[in-house]
Amino acid sequence: MTTWTLTRRAAIAAAAAALAFGAPANAEEKVLDSIHFLIPGGAGGGWDGTARGTGEALTASGLVGKASYENMSGGGGGKAIGYLIENAASQHGTLMVNSTPIVIRSLTGVFPQNFRDLTLVAGTIGDYAAIVVGKDSPINSMEDLLAAYKADPRGTAMGGGSVPGGMDHLVAAMVMQAAGEDPTAVKYIPYDAGGKAMAALLSGEIAALSTGFSEAIDLANAGEVKIIGVTAEERVDSYPDAPTMKEQGLDTTFVNWRGFFAAPGLPEDKLAAYQAALEKMYGTAEWEEVRARNGWVNIHNSGDDFRSFLEGQEQVIGDLMKQLGFL
C-alpha cells in the first residue's frame, strides 16, 4: 500500500494535516453539517493526507460544520471498500478517499469489488507522472533515453517506486509503447519507496526513473535530477522547464488522481450536497493554502465526468496490463 501512496509530498500532507487548527472563518455558507472521512490506510499515508487536508479546507472555510476521520487499514485498502459496501445503509454520512490503485487493483482482482460498486462523488486532485535522470547523466531528453535504450536494451534499466504492473511501471511502459518499442522488453526495477528509487538513480544503478511529478520537482529544484518528460497535456506551471511527452512526439498522458467515494445507494440529495461542497471548496483561500502546501494539482471531475474518467483510465490501463501480461 505504501508503495502506491506514500510519496514524500503525501507524507507531509498527512503530517501537516494531522491537526487541523484555526477557528472557522465562516466565509462560506454552510453546505453540510458534517462529513465522516473513511481512510483505507494508516496515519501518515497519501490517502490520509488527502482526506485530512480536504476536511481541513472544508471546515476552515465554513462549507462543512464538522469533519471526523477514521483510519481503516487492511487488505491494501480492500477492507474499507468492503466495509463501506456491507454497511451501506448506515454510511450515508461517510466519504471514502481513494486513488488510481482502486482501478488497477480491481483489474488484477486483488479487490473483489470495483469503483462501480460505490457511489462516485468526485475526483479532486492529482499528480502527473514524470521520467527523470540524474544530473550528471548524458541523457537530456526522451530522444536520448530511447537512443540509449536502443543501443543497449539490457543495460538501460528503468526504476520506479511501485511493484511491477503498478503505476510507475505502467507509465514507463506507456512511454515506451508510444515510442514504438515493445513495452514488455523494458527492464523495470521496482523499489519499495520513492526515496530508495531516487538513491538508485543517483548511484547509477538505473538509467532513468519513473516517478510522481511533484516528487521530482523538489529534487530538480535542488539540482539533483533532470526531468526529461512529464505526462501532462501542456507544460505545468509549477515547473515549466520540464518538457511534456507530447511535445517530444510521444502521445502519452497520465494522471494519478485522488478522489472521494460514498456508499452504494446514497440518496441523490446527499450526493448533490457532497459534490456542491467539494466544488465550492476550490474557490476558497483555505483550500489554496492546503493545496499549495502539499503541491497538489487541482483536477476536478464530478459525478458523470468522474465516471467517464475512471472508465477511460480502466480501459487504457486494462489494455496495457493485458499487453504486459499482468492480466
Cα separation of 53 and 48, whole Å? 8
As a 3-state breakdown, the chain gives helix, strand, coil percent values, each rounded to 5, of 45, 20, 35
Q: Would you count residue 151 as binding another protein (CB under 8 A)?
A: no
SS3 at position 218: helix
- Which residue has 493526507 as its cell numbers? 49
Q: Would you count residue 209 as binding another protein (CB under 8 A)?
A: no
Choice from 24, 32, 36, 43 touching another protein (CB under 8 A): 43
Please report how close the Cβ of residue 32 comes to another protein at its closest, in angstroms. 24
**Interaction with another protein in 101-120: which residues (CB under 8 A)?**
108, 110
Tell me which residue of 61, 130, 134 sits closest to 297, measured CA to CA.
130
Choice from 187, 270, 280, 307 touching another protein (CB under 8 A): 187
Strand 32-39 relative to strand 64-71, pairing: parallel
Cα separation of 148 and 144, whole Å? 6
Which one, 82 or 243, has the nearer CB to another protein? 82
Which of the 8 DSSP states describes residue 303? Answer: T
Helices (H) and strands (E) in the chain, counts: 12, 10
Residue count, binding to another protein (CB under 8 A): 59
Choice from 32, 93, 143, 193 touching another protein (CB under 8 A): 193
Please report how close the Cβ of residue 95 comes to another protein at its closest, in angstroms. 17
Backbone angles phi, psi at 74, to 5 degrees: 130, 135
SS3 at position 267: coil
Which one, 30 or 196, has the nearer CB to another protein? 196
Task: Name the one range near another protein by CB under 8 A: 60-68, 157-165, 265-273, 281-289.
Answer: 157-165
Which one, 11 or 178, has the nearer CB to another protein? 11
Structural contact between residues 3 and 101, judged by C-beta atoms closer than 8 angstroms: no
Q: Would you count residue 6 as binding another protein (CB under 8 A)?
A: yes
Choice from 21, 89, 138, 151 touching another protein (CB under 8 A): 21
**Interaction with another protein in 225-284: which residues (CB under 8 A)?**
none
Please report how close the Cβ of residue 145 comes to another protein at its closest, in angstroms. 17
Structural contact between residues 59 and 93, judged by C-beta atoms closer than 8 angstroms: no
Strand 255-262 relative to strand 119-134, pairing: antiparallel
Q: Would you count residue 85 as binding another protein (CB under 8 A)?
A: no
Q: Which residues bind another protein (CB under 8 A)?
A: 1, 3, 6, 8-9, 11-19, 21, 42-44, 70-76, 78-79, 82, 108, 110, 154, 157, 163-166, 187, 189-193, 195-196, 198-200, 202-205, 218-219, 221-224, 293, 326
